[in-house]
Structures are given as structure tokens and as C-alpha cells.
Amino acid sequence: MKPATKYALALVTAPDLKTARALANAALKARLIACANLAPKIESHYRWQGKIERGTEVLLILKTTSACLAKLERLIVARHPYDTPEFIVLTLNSGNKRYLDWLDCSLATEKSFRQTAASTHKAYVNRT
């Protein structure tokens, strides 16, 4: 396990799968997330404008770093159809080193991606 305090999960709900896919795709293209899990057909219960409501939504679990969170929040809020979209962040304590290294590579720019990939490959080769 590797300490993972620089990594985070952002939870976002969307009204439907089309919207969830569009949000995930935009965040991936902007390199603000490494991965998005979409859990369709969750049942949400909440209070809105003084009334208790219930609805079916899609939950997005967005895997990112703390450094990307502000830009990710701006992207989600700007593209989301809700007046008050959910954007809740959970920080991580630890995780699998290879997975977290992959997450770093997935969020890197092309130049830093090549550098990170080369050092990760070198470390792997030296281990074997």
C-alpha cells in the first residue's frame, strides 16, 4: 500500500446516463480525472425547496488528485443541468501503488506522462 493523501474521489449525481457520460467524457478529455465509474439507477431521497423528493439518478465516482479538484468542480458545475449539482470529495488514505502510479500517469500532460511512464517502467524492470 502507498500513502494516498494527494488522491481523491469526487461524487457527482446526474439525472441520466447521457448526462453522466458527457460529464465523465469532458473531465477525461481535460485530464482532470483518471477514471469515472457510473452507477446508474440509484434512488436518491432529498429535501429540495422545502419538500422531500425522490428520484432516480446516476452516481459518478471520479478518481482524481487534490491538485485537479478546483478545475474539476468548475467543469462539473458549468456543464451540469442541475441548479445545485452534487460535488462531494472524499480524500484517500492509501491505495495500491501500481494503481496510484497509473492514476498519476493518466492525469499527466503528454510531456510529464512520458517522464513518469519511463521512471515507472525503469522501477518495474529493476524490480524483476
Tens of each residue's pLDDT in the chain, 128 residues? 998 999 999 999 999 999 999 999 999 999 999 999 999 999 999 999 999 999 999 999 999 999 999 999 999 999 999 999 999 999 999 999 999 999 999 998 655 555 656 665 565 566 65
Q: Is residue 11 part of a domain?
A: yes
The type of residue at 56 is T
How many other C-beta atoms are found inside a 10 Å radius of the C-beta of residue 24? 21
Q: Which residues contact 82 (CB under 8 A, 6 or more apart)?
A: 15
Tell me the C-alpha distance between 57 and 47, whole Å: 15
Q: Is residue 123 part of a domain?
A: no
Tell me the C-alpha distance between 64 and 100, whole Å: 10
CATH number at residue 54: 3.30.70.120
The pLDDT of residue 122 is 61
Q: Is residue 21 part of a domain?
A: yes
Q: Is residue 57 part of a domain?
A: yes
Q: Is residue 121 part of a domain?
A: no
Q: Is residue 103 part of a domain?
A: no
Model pTM score: 0.84
SS3 70: helix
